[in-house]
Amino acid sequence: MKVAFLGLGNMGAHMARHFLRAQHDVTVWNRTASKAEGLRAEGAKLAKSAGEAAHSADVVITMLADDHAVELAVLHSGGVLENLSKGGLHISMSTISVALSRKLAEQHAARGQQYVAAPVFGRPEAAEARKLFIAAAGESAAVERAKPLLETLGQRVFVMGDRPEMANVVKLSGNFLIASVIESLGEAIALTRKYGIDPHAYVEFLTNSLFAAPIYKTYGNLIADEKYQPAGFKLRLGLKDIRLALAAGEAVDAPLPFASVMRDHILTAIARGMEDWDWSSTAKLAAENAGLK
C-alpha cells in the first residue's frame, strides 16, 4: 500500500519505520526535512511538501504536534485535502481538538475522501516497540480499512464510535487522567520524601501492590529518578492537551475542575523555564512546594 506519513517527531519516526518494515511503499514529510534523512536511508521516499506526499498515496497518516500544524498540512492551499485522491483515506493520529476533527471529517467527506481519527496512547519507547494503544473512530468502512495499518503500530486498536471526534475525546480525557496521575504521584512522593522514605522504595511498593498499572510504573519511576530530560512528551504539549480537554468539556457543559488545577500547575512549571521538560516534571513543582530540592 502507498502510505504517506507526515510528522517525524519523537513518535512519528518510529511509527513510519514500522510501515517500512511491513513492506509498504512509504513517503514521508516533516517540516524539518533533516529528520527524514534516516528514514530515506531505510527505503522511504522524501516529499518536499505535505501535498506532494499525499498526491500519489492511498492513505495519508498525520502525526503532528497540534491543531495549527495539522491545519497547515491538511487544509491549507496545496495540502493533503487538495492532493489526496477521491476515495483516499486520511488517518489523523495527532492529539487535536474535537472541533478540528469534526472540520476534517466534513472537509474530507465533501471531497469523497475517508477520514478516521486514531490518536495513540504511549510514549516514544512504546512506539518503537509497537506497543501503542490506539483509539479509533469514524465511519465503519473507513475504520475497517484503517485497522490493518493501525495494528502495525500497536498492541490493540479500540474502536470508539462512528464519529471521528469520539476518538479525540477519548484521547483528551485519557491525557487528562495521565496528568492527574502525575500530579498525585508527585505530591505523594514529595510527602513521603519529607518523612525520609526512599522514593524508589515507595514507587516499588505502590506499583507492586495498590497501583500495579503501567502508567504508575512509568511515571512513578521517572519521578523517583527525577528524569525529566530529555522529554518523552514535553510539558508545553501537555498544556495544549489539558486546554483541549477543557474546551471539549465546555462545549458540552461537562465541568472538569481538576483539569483547571492541572492547567495552572503546568503553567507555573512553564513559567519556571520547564516547558521543554517531560510533563512528569510537574512532580518537581510539587517537591519544590514542599521545600525539597
Q: Which amino acid is at 214?
A: P
CATH top-level class of 169-289: mainly alpha
> What mean pLDDT is predicted for residues 33-48?
93
Under CATH, domain 2-162 is a member of which superfamily? NAD(P)-binding Rossmann-like Domain (3.40.50.720)
Q: Where are the domains of the chain?
A: 2-162, 169-289
Give catalytic residue positions: 171
Nearest-angstrom CA–CA distance, 159 and 276: 32
pLDDT at residue 293 is higher than 90: no
Hey, what's the cell of 268? 507555573
What is the pTM for the complete model shown?
A: 0.95
Nearest-angstrom CA–CA distance, 77 and 46: 20
- Residues 167-176 have pLDDT tens digits of 999 999 999 9
Structural contact between residues 118 and 146, judged by C-beta atoms closer than 8 angstroms: yes
- Residues 114-141 have pLDDT tens digits of 999 999 999 999 999 999 999 999 999 9
Hey, what's the cell of 34? 533533516
Residue-level pLDDT at 59: 98
pLDDT tier at 206, thresholds 50, 70, 90 = very high
* Alpha carbon distances (Å) from 78 to 66, 73, 213: 19, 8, 45
* Beta carbons within 8 Å of 7's beta carbon, 6+ residues apart: 30, 62, 63, 64, 65, 69, 73, 94
Residue-level pLDDT at 139: 98
Nearest Cα to Cα of residue 124 among 237, 2, 275: 237
3-state secondary structure of 261: helix
